[in-house]
Chain A
């Protein structure tokens, strides 16, 4: 069964304290790996798509990387406004079903 696991479930950082969020996936072939940011009471906001192992993408303080088994979202010198839940989702090869497999998310809190 296709599965995506995110860790940790929750992470508290001090402003400026860099860290990484993990997204491990077990899918029958990966077509793409997506990262989203979700603020409380809002819809997920697209951050990155990664398609192949070794690929990296950056946006401001965020950098996403992909290996054959997992993806990391690195947050460098975070600010309080980076506080949110970060979701990853895998797009697996599935015969006849076009469905992303989401993780439950990592809730990030950055304290000033």
Chain B
């Protein structure tokens, strides 16, 4: 089945130690998104790629970076995780930007010690 895959499902890191989360998709969608979701809150968009074009949300901290080496893969790098970065990180994809359904992966739960 075509899908959005995230690895790992759970990630534990230490305060200030860089961490990378990965997302892959078999849907061949043009757009890939990264969201941060904290407990009982709505998902918060960090950035998205339309093909190779990167779009950063204005309030996304500089600590968060992303890479999309090809259509299928997208990575979220957190350069120096703080305790406040502990959250669920969701990857989503869509065919296009307007009126298109976003399909989410299972998420990666990040714990910062």
Contact = CB atoms under 8 A, between A and B. Distances in A.
Interface residues of B, number: 26
A64 B99 CA distance: 17
Question: Which range contains the number of A residues in contact with the other chain?
Answer: 20 to 34
Contact of A31 (B91, B98, B102, B106): B98
Contacts, number: 52
A34 B97 CA distance: 14
Contacts of B43: 44, 87, 102
Contacts of A45: 104
A52 B57 CA distance: 28
Contacts of B57: 99
Contacts of A95: none
A31 to B, nearest CB: 5
A27 to B, nearest CB: 13
Given A43-B90, A98-B55, A99-B57, A91 B40 contact: no
Contact of B45 (A41, A44, A46, A99): A99
